[in-house]
Amino acid sequence: MFALDCLRCGWHGPDADLHRCPHCGGPITISYAAPLAVDSSRPGIWRYASRLPLHDQAHAVSLGEGGTPLLPAAHVGAELGLPQLYFKLEGANPTGSYKDRIAAVGIARLRELGKTAWAATSSGNAGAAIAAYGARAGVPGHLFTLEHAAPAKLAQILAYGPTVRAVQRLGYDPQVEQATWRNIQALCAANNWMMLVTARSFSPHAMEGAKTISYEVCEQLGERAPDVVYVPVGGGGLLSATWQGFAEWHAVGRIDRLPRMVAVQACGCDPIVQAWTAGRAVIPIDGCSSTISGIQLTAPPDGDLVLRALEESAGWAVSIPDAETYCAQADFAAREGIFVEPAAAITLAAVRADRASGRLSGDELVACWLTGTGFKDAAAVQRMAGERRVAQTTVEQILELVGGEETL
């Protein structure tokens, strides 16, 4: 049904419990023998089971992930001179982020391989998704999170019951990030656990779930791809996986062209943008000064895969100041009625920057991946509300506010 291919040396081999090429250590991808078929009788991501790496569908796990809305902009598109601006609402997934797609495939793969537990790193969204799907499947888990992860995200994760530990300097120190991943790999190998880090370099099978975003968008646009796609980038797995999804849809003739991909990072934590600008490989940065939770990675594991996708798609990379991201988050709520986390709002801030610079002409069909719901980050919610207070009134004064009883 499917096999493994190395993206670096071209090695091809049968499916196995691998995450790196056995010959050169390069990243691997999944190749499928069966044609891409859509099973309309199944909901969500499992409509695309023909292109998801599961040998026996009896192991599939679902909470109703996928099938999220693609909404045209109600107001900000016209204000920016972008009449074809769309938002993919991944916060509509069961645990509130696109990571549910990855968790569903990852936990299904875990069950099929007979692993006894999962272990992962996450600043919040991935941890919540994997913990929820692990609970659904009856599989225990171990999460290693950032020292200063958002409390609301941690609360959601803890509710699902995994063991959670905060690792000092994780998310701010590249050596700590890389050592954490190595140690989790060793822990999983010693205990027959599965490592579920949402990066293609660590969990290539699970990451296949993310490409279903692209499948859905093409179907929602009437078998058409966007011209430009804006993706928040921390580790880089989402952009790389969704570029693969567009490429697969194109390869079978479902769309006649491919989009340009845009990697969006936060100023203060943008190693991929720095690499793209300098025309070199990704180099870990010394620290992170950004406060945008979810994309704070100083050593992105899929960084070079992002650069590859940008080159193949003729795309680009852009970094955005935190203040502009928080402004975009507020505008999403007040102007569009869409409540997103800052890591999702950064895409609108990038669209604004590119429209102002002339990089976007205004004729393009633009899609933004809105990766998670705003309820994920209570501090960001409070910042968005600012100094606004709820005014007091009496029941008698209600009529005065609307101009008299006859107007009710």
DSSP assigned state of 210: G
| Res 206: pLDDT | 98
Instruction: Tell me the pLDDT tens digit for each residue of 355-396.
Output: 999 999 999 999 999 999 998 776 767 776 766 778 888 888
pLDDT band of residue 179 (cuts 50, 70, 90) is very high
CA separation for the pair 154, 156 (Å, rounded):
5
Mean pLDDT of 309-318: 98
| Res 380: pLDDT | 67
| Res 376: pLDDT | 74
CA separation for the pair 99, 129 (Å, rounded):
6
pLDDT band of residue 28 (cuts 50, 70, 90) is very high
pLDDT at 123 over 90: no
| Res 398: pLDDT | 81
pLDDT at 249 over 90: yes
Q: Which helix (H) or strand (E) holds 134?
A: helix 125-137
Instruction: Give 140: exposed, middle or buried? Use CB within 10 Å, 0-12, 13-18, 19+.
Output: middle
pLDDT band of residue 151 (cuts 50, 70, 90) is confident
pLDDT band of residue 403 (cuts 50, 70, 90) is low
CATH architecture of 70-95+206-385: 3-Layer(aba) Sandwich (3.40)
pLDDT band of residue 405 (cuts 50, 70, 90) is very low
Mean pLDDT of 248-261: 98
| Res 216: pLDDT | 98
Q: Which residues contact 364 (CB under 8 A, 6 or more apart)?
A: 82, 84, 226, 227, 228
Contact criterion met (CB below 8 Å) for 16 and 4:
yes
Mean pLDDT of 158-165: 95
Domain residue extents for the chain: 70-95+206-385
pLDDT at 404 over 70: no
Mean pLDDT of 291-320: 96
| Res 391: pLDDT | 81
pLDDT band of residue 34 (cuts 50, 70, 90) is confident
Q: Which of 148-162, 216-230, 249-263, 319-333 has the lowest mean pLDDT?
A: 148-162
Instruction: Tell me the pLDDT tens digit for each residue of 50-109.
Output: 999 999 999 999 999 999 999 999 999 999 999 999 999 999 999 999 999 999 999 999
Residue 25: CB atoms within 10 A of its CB come to: 10
pLDDT band of residue 406 (cuts 50, 70, 90) is very low
Identify the CA nearest to 63 among candidates 112, 134, 139, 119. Answer: 134
Percent of the chain scoring above 70 in pLDDT? 97
CA separation for the pair 18, 84 (Å, rounded):
41
CA separation for the pair 47, 41 (Å, rounded):
7
Percent of the chain scoring above 90 in pLDDT? 85
Instruction: Tell me the pLDDT tens digit for each residue of 264-286.
Output: 999 999 999 999 999 999 999 99
Q: Which of 194-198, 352-356, 372-376 has the lowest mean pLDDT?
A: 372-376
DSSP assigned state of 373: B
| Res 56: pLDDT | 96
| Res 402: pLDDT | 60
| Res 139: pLDDT | 98
Q: Which of 93-97, 114-118, 169-173, 258-262 has the lowest mean pLDDT?
A: 169-173
CA dist list (Å): 277 to 230, 262, 298? 17, 13, 17
